[in-house]
Structure 1
Amino acid sequence: MSNKRYNEDFKRTIVDLYNSGSSVKDLSSEYGVTEVTIYKWIKDFSPNQQSGSEGATSKDVEEMQKEMARLKEENEILKKGYDHIRQKVDNTELTEFIKEQKDEHTIKAICDALDFPRSTYYETINRVESNRDKENRELLDQITQIHKNSKKRYGAPKIHAVLINKGYKVSLKRVQRLMRKEGIKSIVRKKYRPYPNREKVVERENLLKQDFSTTFVNQKWVTDITYIDTVKDGWCYLASVMDLHTHKIVGYSFSKTMTTDLVIKAVKNAYDTQKPGNGLILHSDLGTQYTSDDFKRFLRYKGIKQSFSRKGCPYDNAHIESFHATLKKEEVNHVKYLDFKSAEIALFRFIESWYNRTRIHGSLEFLTPQHVEDLAKQSA
């Protein structure tokens, strides 16, 4: 319990629930937080009547006092070390800083604080900007916007691809250099790996045999299940179905239980949306949900051929496992879902809006899965 970490929104939500009438005991039982911790949050996030600032909590006051002490210490350090630091900062960098701050403070005040002559500032800003500097500035604006639009999920290769598609003539190394200088990088988190199943597994027929080649949509699908943790509802389960031609998630289902119904619903959603013809191969691992009689009957009814990975050989299902790893690194590992419903909405947004229709894929020549599907149908 002591190793759990909670973000500010979670803490404030617990305090709001307490203020709305929920008891500390009930909140502790429902959300798995100790009563002592909840009482501490109530103290931290309740208004402090003695603070002299309306609406300020004890935690706010404590944080303000810490910040004031920190700023005072930093100011003393900067005064002592400024002469040494100033030798490493050129006039252009100081000028850019002053330009950024001139709407907040007077130029005289900034120059005095930095011990920087105003005449030097005006002389520097009146110089003609070099073509290279101008290009770098424009490129950096584009890079920053692309990175922001991707919710910080894109690294240099994908940002470079977007710039090329926009008509910019720029090398990957230049993009990497600009990103490194500005501290722009992709967010990455390792995914959770559950304990492997120790039960005896019976081998089944493998039709895919690591042949991922396709000529059109709805020829080969792969499917798998992954785990999603929530605060209130514990572990929930996402079953996903991917088309190997487009890498699009054509169907999925989210549930509080990992049952055969979960995987049937995911495939049914894919079938109803894609309406595949005869001969479709659906590949999965040897999980009990996929080897169940109910699932096999459902596939036979739909005319879908079933294929299975060999025991201990995950390569046939690498594409769908890669999707689940991406889901964890780019979305799940960065948030704490309060309950099943909040996780369901987040997964919907990630799959439907981001992954299928917005996120470019290096393996698809930096196109989106939906774009690849549209192109395939147009050429049919």
Structure 2
Amino acid sequence: MSTTKEFQKLKRAPQIYSEAFKRQVVSEFERGLFTKAELRRRYTILGNNCIPRWLKKYGKFTYEDKLTLGRPMKDPQQQRIKELEAQLTKKEEELKVFKRFIEIAERELKIDIGKKVWFQAVEEISTSSLLTTYELCQLFGYTKQAFYKRKSSVKTSKYSSELLRSLVLNVRKQLPRTGGKKLYVMLQNEFIKHQISIGRDTFLDFLKAEYLQVPKARRYYKTTNSRHWMRRYPNLISTIELNRPEQVWVADITYLRTKEKTYYLHLLTDACSKKIVGHQLSDNLMSSTTVKALKMALIDRKTQNELIHHSDRGLQYCSKEYTDLLKKNNIFISMTQAYDPYENAIAERVNGILKEEFGLYEIFENYQNLNKQVTQAIALYNNFRIHMSIDMITPNQAHQQKTIHLKQWKKINRNRINSVTI
């Protein structure tokens, strides 16, 4: 009895197989000579997991756990074909899922992802993929010629981050809240001087990465009283096309603050050149103060061409003192017809630029500091601040021209159905 137990222990003891033996078993299985069960019986191989482990380690084919269901085929090549077909079916389903994912992203984000990034994708993937450039281009729906044509047109941006940052900050010292698109135009001469090659979008990305973007502030303060008994005039500029300086002057009043009190900046702006032609800072909303801004504009008036004065229906602009001065200088009077700010959009925009880009929204120490800041802001605005609507030149430069091709955009007030052009 003891001899039988000792024999069973010896029989069950772990066996050690040589590398050559393992490779021979794998070879016989992959050639289809024997099945796994036949090999175990033929060579007295104990354990059901020995041969599968050897196949994974030494086999020419790829073996995965639990890939197939049911009884395995006797022919390993047929078994492998079945496994590969299962893998292919799974990958095709995954590809459908990713394509559907891209379609949903394009629909929700309202962009054509394939059109935007196909070139970058082919360029980056081709270095590590087994697919050729031709095959990758076909995968994205483009030709190989389109890829190399795009590649030849791409210019590598070459710039020093420190140098570029210093150039931006030099402009921001005078115009601290100038946007990225205007900065890109203003720095063109510096780019040439320092041999900086950079595109507009890359420049905007640089500003974002360096935290040099300008956040917008939204503020509102009522300075107009339209509920009065004085005469209101019709809107004369709603249908005219702006094409020259001193064709339309727009007027508005905006508030500014100090620690002591609130002050009001009375402004008069040329609608076509965007130049501030008259201004007056005061602690009141009286018409006599608004008249001072008008007189300043009249002194610097260069031509006697037909001129329209456009404003809201505030009592300052409807007062007899103000309208008499306009009529005396043969200036037509035009006013907004509703409470829609887009009817006097240019004046509103100039107010916003002075506050947001030149820091006039801040609370100043006293009137002297505020007045100094206002004077500097208007001088910088007229002489250095460029505008997209006048082909990226300054208001002073535009005011010297006889005709101006003014770019216009449609602005939609969400409180009204129709839109107006500014």
TM range (shorter): 0.5 to 0.7
- Give the direction of change, closer, same or farther, for the CA distance of 1:198–1:305 in structure 2 (3 Å limit): closer
Q: Whose Rg is larger? A: 2
How far apart are the structure 2 equivalents of 1:308 and 1:326?
A: 22
Paired with 2:341 and 2:361, the residues of 1 have a C-alpha distance of 26
Q: Distance in 1 between matches of 2:207 and 2:373?
A: 28
- In structure 2, distance between residues paired with 1:259 and 1:217: 28
Q: 2:222 aligns with which of 194, 212, 231?
A: 194
Q: Confirm whether residue 322 of structure 1 aligns to residue 346 of structure 2.
A: no
* C-alpha spacing 1:274/1:149, structure 2 compared with 1 (3 Å): same
Residues 1:279 and 2:306 are matched in the alignment? yes
2:291 to 245, 264, 277: 264
Aligned equivalent of 1:63:
none
Contact 2:226 2:315 in 1 (8 A): no
The answer (yes or no) to whether the contact 1:152–1:187 under 8 Å persists in 2 is no
| Structure 1 Cα separation of the partners of residues 223 and 287 of structure 2 | 20
Q: Deviations over 1:297-355 (max 9, x none)?
A: 11111111111111223323100110001112123455321222321111011002x10
Q: Name 1:363's counterpart in structure 2.
A: 389
CA distance in 1, matches of 2:163, 2:321: 55
Deviation string, structure 1 residues 58-77 (Cα, Å, up to 9, x no partner): xxxxxxxxxxxxxxxxxxxx
> Which structure features the higher share of helix residues?
1
Structure-1 separation of matches of 2:197 and 2:219:
36
Which residue pairs with 1:313 in the alignment? 340
Deviations 1:24-59 (A, max 9, x none): xxxxxxxxxxxxxxxxxxxxxxxxxxxxxxxxxxxx
Residue 208 (structure 1) aligns with: 237
Q: Distance in 1 between matches of 2:403 and 2:339?
A: 36
Judge conservation of contact 2:223–2:254 (CA < 8 Å) in 1: no
1:84-108 residue CA offsets vs partner (Å, 9 max, x unmatched): xxxxxxxxxxxxxxxxxxxxxxxxx
Secondary structure (helix, strand or coil) at the match of 1:236 reads: strand
Structure 2 regions of 5+ residues with no counterpart? 1-154, 405-422
CA distance in 1, matches of 2:302, 2:322: 18
- AA aligned to 2:295 is K
Identity, % of aligned positions: 27
* 1:224/1:311 CA distance change after superposition, 3 Å: same
Matched, 1:230 2:258: yes
SS at match of 1:161: helix
CA contact (8 A) 1:360 1:368 kept: yes
Q: Distance in 1 between matches of 2:168 and 2:305?
A: 46
Secondary structure of 1:184's aligned partner: coil
Look up the match of 1:290.
317
Q: Distance in 2 between matches of 1:266 and 1:183?
A: 39
Contact residue 237 and residue 257 of structure 1 kept, 8 A: yes
1:173 aligned partner: 201
Change (3 A) 1:134 1:332: closer
CA distance in 1, matches of 2:332, 2:223: 29
Question: How much has 1:225 moved relative to structure 2?
Answer: 0.8
Structure 1 Cα separation of the partners of residues 319 and 228 of structure 2: 15
Quote the Cα distance in structure 2 between the aligned partners of 1:289 and 1:195.
Answer: 11
Give the whole-Å Cα distance in 1 for the aligned partners of 2:391 and 2:197: 17
> What is the distance in 2 between the residues matched to 1:179 and 1:351?
26
One-letter identity of the residue aligned with 1:299: L
Q: Which amino acid aligns with 1:307?
A: S
Given the superposition, is the C-alpha separation of residues 163 and 138 from structure 1 closer, same or farther in structure 2, using an over 3 Å criterion? farther
SS at the partner of 2:187?
helix
Match of 1:341 among 359, 368, 373: 368
Which of the residues 389, 398, 402 maps onto 1:372? 398
The answer to whether the Cα contact below 8 Å between 1:164 and 1:170 also exists between their aligned partners in 2 is no
| Runs (5+) with no aligned partner, structure 1 | 1-130
SS of residue in 1 equivalent to 2:217: coil
Quick one: distance in 2 between partners of 1:178 and 1:231?
37
Q: So what's the TM-score if we normalise by structure 2?
A: 0.53
Q: Deviations over 1:106-141 (max 9, x none)?
A: xxxxxxxxxxxxxxxxxxxxxxxxx96852437624
Give the match for residue 81 of structure 2. none
How far apart, in 2, do the equivalents of 1:191 and 1:261 lie?
27
Q: Is contact 2:178–2:214 with CA below 8 Å preserved after alignment?
A: yes
Q: Once structures 1 and 2 are overlaid, which stretch shifts more, 155-164 or 246-255?
A: 155-164
